[in-house]
């Protein structure tokens, strides 16, 4: 016997409207998707913060400038910790077009070197960037690629790139290991500089002797194999990537 029998009324069962259930489902799906996408970068951010606070304590995470990892064709272009890898996502919709190597030093101190032979150019308005044309991709002979280096300036845009490679330089021959400048924290917004690092990416050729927009991930290649890093850009790991084959 229950109250409804007593009153002759049926218990009121409130049903959730279908639109509410669907919306909640979609939102939960999106949240899960974002979490999976963002998780590798989130775990890597924790390692970067530990590194920046105390590089000595985590010296095993660092890769030395000019090191050759395994049989990789490129030299490692600077000293530091590989903080983020290609295709890491810092916020929903974002995908990193290169790798980010953090020195743990102040801006303008840690040298950046050419990873491979090529021809250096800088557009007239580039404060912190340079690009090096590599006519023959060592991992896919016959195709031309471009190596893009950026953040080589202080927050006000004072460049750490030597004067002999000033903006407006085109097709200057460079050899692997040549000094290109120093790591900086330029972000185009002097009030919000980035952490001191080198952003290094491999940009595809446009087929007409130029390079495609380096800010679009589909115009770039994963540099891991060129540098001999483990291909783990989608793995959430608290350990930064090291040279492939070493632990």
The binding site for Zn ion (CB under 5 A) comprises 96, 98, 100, 199
Nearest residue (CB) to Zn ion, 169 versus 233: 233
Nearest residue (CB) to Zn ion, 98 versus 240: 98
Q: How far is the CB of 200 from Zn ion (least distance, A)?
A: 8
Nearest residue (CB) to Zn ion, 29 versus 229: 229
| 3-class secondary structure per residue, 171-190 | CEEECCCCEEEECECCCCCC
221: three-class secondary structure by DSSP: strand
Q: How far is the CB of 168 from Zn ion (least distance, A)?
A: 25
Q: How far is the CB of 195 from Zn ion (least distance, A)?
A: 11
17's tokens: 């409207």
Nearest residue (CB) to Zn ion, 68 versus 95: 95
Q: How far is the CB of 182 from Zn ion (least distance, A)?
A: 17
In the DSSP assignment, the letter for residue 106 is: -
Q: How many CB atoms are closer than 10 A to CB 66? A: 15
Round to whole Å and give the CA distance between 40 and 134. 30
Residue nearest to Zn ion (CB): 199
Beta bridge partners of 243: 229
């Amino acid at each position: 016997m229950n109250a409804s029998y007593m009153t002759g009324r049926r218990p009121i069962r409130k049903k959730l409207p279908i639109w509410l259930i669907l919306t909640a489902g979609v939102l939960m799906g999106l949240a899960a998707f974002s979490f999976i996408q963002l998780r590798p970068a989130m775990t890597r951010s924790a390692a970067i913060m530990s590194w920046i606070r105390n590089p000595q304590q985590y010296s095993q995470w660092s890769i030395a400038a000019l090191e050759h990892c395994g049989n990789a064709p490129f030299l490692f272009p600077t000293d530091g910790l590989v903080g983020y890898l290609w295709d890491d996502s810092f916020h929903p919709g974002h995908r990193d077009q290169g790798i980010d190597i953090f020195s743990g030093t102040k801006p303008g101190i840690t040298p950046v070197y050419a990873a491979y032979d090529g021809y250096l150019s800088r557009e007239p308005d580039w404060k912190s960037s340079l690009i090096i044309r590599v006519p023959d991709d060592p991992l896919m002979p016959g195709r031309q690629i471009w190596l893009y280096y950026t953040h080589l300036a202080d927050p006000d845009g004072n460049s750490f790139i030597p004067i002999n490679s000033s903006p407006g330089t085109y097709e200057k021959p460079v050899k692997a290991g040549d000094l290109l400048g120093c790591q900086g924290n330029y972000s185009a917004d002097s009030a919000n500089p980035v952490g001191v690092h080198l952003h290094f990416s491999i940009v595809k050729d446009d087929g007409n002797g130029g390079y495609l927009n380096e800010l679009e991930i589909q115009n770039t290649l994963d540099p891991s194999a060129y540098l001999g890093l483990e291909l783990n850009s989608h793995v959430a790991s608290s350990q930064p990537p090291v040279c492939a084959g070493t632990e």
